[in-house]
Amino acid sequence: MTYTAGAGSSLKEEDDDINFASLLDTIISHKGMIASITSIVVLFGALYAFMGTPVYEANILVQIEDNADAAGAAKNLLGDISSMFEVKSSADAEIQLLGSRLVISRTVDQQKLYITAEPARFMLIGEWIARHIPFDGSSTPLLRYFAWGQEKVKVVALEVPPGLMESSLTLTVIDGSTYRLAESGWSKGWIGHVGKTETFSSSGGPIVINVASISSESGVRFHVIRHSRQNTIELLQKGLKIAEQGKDSGVLSATLLDKDPFRLQAILNEIGYQYVQQNVERKSAQAAKSLTFLNSQLPEMKKRLDEAEQRQTTYRNAHGIISLGEEAKVVLAQSADAEGRIAMLEAQQRELLMRFGPSHPSVQTIAEQLSLARQKRGELTSREKAMPNQEQELIRLTRDVTVANDLYVATLSNIQQLELLKSGKIGNVRVVDTAFNPEIPVKPNKALVLLLSATLGLATAVFAAMAIELLYGGVTDVDALEKNTGLSVYSIVPFSEVQDLLFKKIKLKVREILLLTKVAAEDPAVESLRSFRTSLEFAMLEASNRIVQITAPSPGMGKSFLSANLASVLAAAGKRILLVDCDLRRGHLNQYFGLTRDAGLSELIAGSADMELATKREVEPGLDFVSTGTRPINPSELLASSKFKQILNEWSQKYDVVLLDSPPVLPVADAEVIASSAATVFLVARFGKTKTGELIESEKRLRQVGARVRGLIFNGVIQRSGVYAYGSKYGAYRYTAYRYEVETDH
């Protein structure tokens, strides 16, 4: 089956192509700015990548162990009571403990992390020089106050009044044993000695400091800051990343970043040590509670054992030695086991109830086991009752002695285990890998920073180009131009490289003919004007006079270039053409013909020159030219005079076309005055420069004086990737795009 796309699909695909092409056009048009912005961002990225302070990463590995046999205790009726303290904790719980304030606060206190003492570095480059270049600035004035190497000062104690918390104090090295401390870099301050706790009186209160050691040349300054202990703890907690290594592995990794690799190593190892210590302390505290309980039960157990043995001895002395049958021995063994298990479970239940509530899962499990053990004991009791009375009594007495003895011996064994736990020598976590001193920084990642900066710079530059195009760019699409203005585009004039060179000569006031029609007659811009010549003839068929005005909304649209070369093209077709430079303020058409201003339009209107003197005959075959003449101080009044209208009428009778190059519409009113006498008016729109609103306003002003704008001349079209002009209307026919340079003196 063959599928044929509908018109809507085709239009959508074409719109997508045009949108992409428009974006590409914008990039090409602003390629210089895009390259500059991208280069600047990449430069800053490179500065950060190669000169930024390096950040190091290190980690420790912690294992959560299941040490049910760690104490090597015997299994008995009470079981290994130390195993109750060796139950493996969940990884989630241990992660919370490892990053808890309990562990982190101890680390902060031990390492004095709330005190920082950083050497003063030269701005921007000092840190980089200290890391890469051996440099001694001690002999250079001013530079000697900065640190250029690995200078260090160790402050082990610092207490400041609330007003100086988080504020930088300046410590200046006097010598290896003396320093000066000041609230600011250049204040007098106080003199202190290394190894002594000094107390200084500041404006806000006493400052207590103890500098343990100094490793620096004299004159070097350090910035000493006392941070909030709470904030330091919170920052360390946020910076510490903890995760389990693999599912249910019981191995935790704690990772931290810091710019000082030695401090990083010390902090992580201290965290590991404090974590293990809290684990041991927790188990020691639990063991102490159980030990207290067992010690309180031991005398009662000893008393029960003695009483049981006494009862058994008394019974045997009274009845002689009685031999138990095989069934009685089996029942005795099973009964003793049942009683022992019940006693063990009851002891464990009492111990657990000291730490947990009745609804705790461990307590409920013990209760279920007790229920089963008592049920078993009931079954054995029924079997005992079927035996002879003497055997029943002997079984009971023997069982009491066995159970009481086993309980007493087991209690003594577990007291020894708990003593070991209480001494703090056993825990169920350990540090597997301690932190090492990292040598290679993880930040900044040079390749990644350069890639991101290039991407960010390019994106920013393209966005800026699009914003400029949106806010300040002019029209680039003929269809949109015609649709938004309601005016037809009569000609699309491409850019000419040759004209670009000619215009540079015009600015230098070179005295020669600088018409594109003469220098490069086959140039595409000239061809477009020849095409416009035909359109103009049809446009003038119903005109009331032979006067054609070429104007533009604003300066720099290229109307003078169009007027001069259009006049040349019209004359080449055998017409009698008069070209008049009506821009009495800034006109320069005379330069296209290598002429001076001399007597011209202003003198003709003022009456100081006649028609013959003001007109330059045959500047080209069939082409006469009238320059601006001397620039008057009242151009609008001259153009609005009846004399000017009379002159125009005379010219209209003598020539096939009277081509007027007028001033722009929006800056001055001259173009409106001229347009009232011209039957045919064309507006020039500059590709990428002229805004639609300017054209609409210009057409409105001209219409208000009775002039009719016949259409637009689209000048200076740039060759890009987009589809311009009538491509979307007429399929394969597309205008070739060129560019024309702005006339800066218009």
Task: Categorize the per-residue pLDDT at 392 as very low, low, confident or very high, splitting at 50, 70 and 90.
Answer: low
Number of domains in the chain: 4
Domain co-membership, 448 together with 514 = no
pLDDT digits (tens, 9 = 90+) for 468-502: 877 777 788 888 889 999 999 999 999 877 777 77
> Of 270-284, 526-540, 615-629, which range is least confident?
270-284
pLDDT value of position 2: 41
Alpha-carbon distance of 669 to 663, in angstroms, equals: 9
pLDDT digits (tens, 9 = 90+) for 532-544: 999 999 989 888 8
Task: Please report whether residue 741 resides in a domain.
Answer: no
Task: Please report whether residue 306 resides in a domain.
Answer: yes
- Which residue, chain included where needed, has tokens 């159980």? 290
pLDDT value of position 19: 63
Picking from 165, 173, 43, the residue whose alpha carbon sits closest to that of residue 114 is: 165
Domain co-membership, 317 together with 450 = no
Higher pLDDT, 317 or 173: 173
Residue 5: strand, helix, or coil: coil
pLDDT value of position 179: 93
Alpha-carbon distance of 457 to 465, in angstroms, equals: 12
Q: Which residues pair with 623 in a beta bridge?
A: 577, 620
Residue 78: strand, helix, or coil: coil
Domain co-membership, 44 together with 62 = no
Q: Which residues pair with 197 in a beta bridge?
A: 210
Phi, psi of 622 (to 5 degrees): 85, 0
Higher pLDDT, 724 or 420: 420
Residue 530 CB: number of other CB atoms within 10 A? 16
Domain co-membership, 594 together with 509 = yes
Answer for the pair 636, 668: CB distance below 8 angstroms, yes or no: yes
> Of 44-53, 58-67, 372-381, 485-494, which range is least confident?
372-381
Question: Residue 671 maps to which CATH number?
Answer: 3.40.50.300
Which tokens is 24 given? 């590409």
What's the mean per-residue pLDDT of the chain? 81
Mean pLDDT of 717-733: 46
- Tell me how many degrees the CA angle 454-456-460 measures, rounded to the nearest 5: 115
**pLDDT above 80 for 252:** yes
Higher pLDDT, 527 or 422: 527
Mean pLDDT of 422-427: 62
Domain co-membership, 486 together with 352 = no
* CA neighbours closer than 13 Å in the CB half-sphere of residue 69: 1
> Of 292-301, 445-454, 559-568, which range is least confident?
292-301
Highest mean pLDDT among 224-238, 407-421, 427-441, 474-488: 224-238
Which tokens is 346 given? 């009851």
Mean pLDDT of 16-33: 72
Picking from 32, 103, 35, 93, the residue whose alpha carbon sits closest to that of residue 64 is: 93
pLDDT value of position 299: 82
Q: Domain range spanning residue 621?
A: 474-730
Answer for the pair 531, 627: CB distance below 8 angstroms, yes or no: no
Residue 235: strand, helix, or coil: helix
Torsion of CA 317, 321, 322, 323, to 10 degrees: 150
pLDDT value of position 176: 85
Phi, psi of 314 (to 5 degrees): -60, -45
Higher pLDDT, 521 or 343: 521
Task: Please report whether residue 271 resides in a domain.
Answer: no
pLDDT value of position 37: 94
Answer for the pair 720, 24: CB distance below 8 angstroms, yes or no: yes
**pLDDT above 90 for 208:** yes
Task: Categorize the per-residue pLDDT at 454 as very low, low, confident or very high, splitting at 50, 70 and 90.
Answer: very high
Domain co-membership, 29 together with 113 = no
Domain co-membership, 173 together with 240 = yes
Alpha-carbon distance of 423 to 429, in angstroms, equals: 16
Task: Categorize the per-residue pLDDT at 134 as very low, low, confident or very high, splitting at 50, 70 and 90.
Answer: low
- Which residue, chain included where needed, has tokens 């592995």? 249
Domain co-membership, 539 together with 555 = yes
Provide the greatest CA pair distance for the chain.
169
Alpha-carbon distance of 10 to 399, in angstroms, equals: 100
Task: Categorize the per-residue pLDDT at 127 as very low, low, confident or very high, splitting at 50, 70 and 90.
Answer: low
**pLDDT above 50 for 737:** no
Answer for the pair 390, 322: CB distance below 8 angstroms, yes or no: yes
pLDDT digits (tens, 9 = 90+) for 349-362: 877 777 777 888 88
pLDDT value of position 147: 60
- Integer CA distances (angstroms), 509 to 410, 506, 518, 644, in order: 118, 5, 18, 29
Task: Please report whether residue 352 resides in a domain.
Answer: yes
Strands 489-494 and 709-717, bridge-based pairing: parallel
Task: Please report whether residue 658 resides in a domain.
Answer: yes
Share of the chain above pLDDT 70, in %: 80
**pLDDT above 80 for 33:** yes
SS3 of 153-212:
EEEEEEECCHHHCCCEEEEEEEECCEEEEECCCCCCCEEEECCCEEEEECCCCEEEEEEE
Task: Please report whether residue 585 resides in a domain.
Answer: yes
pLDDT value of position 145: 58
Which tokens is 627 given? 């320059």
| Residues in Cβ contact with 386 at an 8 Å cutoff, skipping those fewer than 6 apart | none
| Residues in Cβ contact with 38 at an 8 Å cutoff, skipping those fewer than 6 apart | 454, 457, 458, 460, 461
Q: Identify the DSSP state of 513.
A: B
**pLDDT above 80 for 521:** yes
Task: Categorize the per-residue pLDDT at 404 as very low, low, confident or very high, splitting at 50, 70 and 90.
Answer: confident
Alpha-carbon distance of 142 to 159, in angstroms, equals: 30
Domain co-membership, 228 together with 349 = no
Alpha-carbon distance of 41 to 458, in angstroms, equals: 9
Mean pLDDT of 312-326: 68
- Whether the model clears a pTM of 0.75, i.e. scores above it, the answer is no
Task: Please report whether residue 527 resides in a domain.
Answer: yes
**pLDDT above 70 for 136:** no
From the number of C-beta atoms within 10 Å of its C-beta (0-12, 13-18, 19+), residue 98 rates as: buried
Instruction: Say how many Å lie between the first and final Cα of the chain, rounded.
Output: 62
> Of 262-276, 579-593, 723-737, which range is least confident?
723-737
> Of 46-55, 66-75, 400-409, which range is least confident?
66-75
Alpha-carbon distance of 182 to 200, in angstroms, equals: 10
Domain co-membership, 346 together with 417 = yes
> Of 103-117, 300-314, 451-465, 631-645, which range is least confident?
300-314
Where is 383: in which H helix or E strand?
helix 361-385
pLDDT value of position 503: 75
Q: Please enumerate, as own/partner, the contacts of 313-317 that have beta carbons within 8 Å and a separation of 24 or more.
A: 315/393, 315/394, 315/397
| Residues in Cβ contact with 722 at an 8 Å cutoff, skipping those fewer than 6 apart | 18, 21, 22, 24, 25, 476, 477, 737
Alpha-carbon distance of 78 to 69, in angstroms, equals: 15
Higher pLDDT, 694 or 144: 694
Domain co-membership, 210 together with 305 = no
Task: Categorize the per-residue pLDDT at 11 as very low, low, confident or very high, splitting at 50, 70 and 90.
Answer: very low
Picking from 506, 449, 413, the residue whose alpha carbon sits closest to that of residue 43 is: 449
> Of 41-50, 332-341, 627-636, 736-745, which range is least confident?
736-745
pLDDT value of position 298: 77
**pLDDT above 70 for 78:** no
536: amino acid identity, one letter: L
pLDDT value of position 421: 61
Task: Categorize the per-residue pLDDT at 425 as very low, low, confident or very high, splitting at 50, 70 and 90.
Answer: low
Alpha-carbon distance of 20 to 216, in angstroms, equals: 62
Domain co-membership, 302 together with 217 = no
Task: Please report whether residue 544 resides in a domain.
Answer: yes
Answer for the pair 599, 589: CB distance below 8 angstroms, yes or no: no
Share of the chain above pLDDT 90, in %: 40
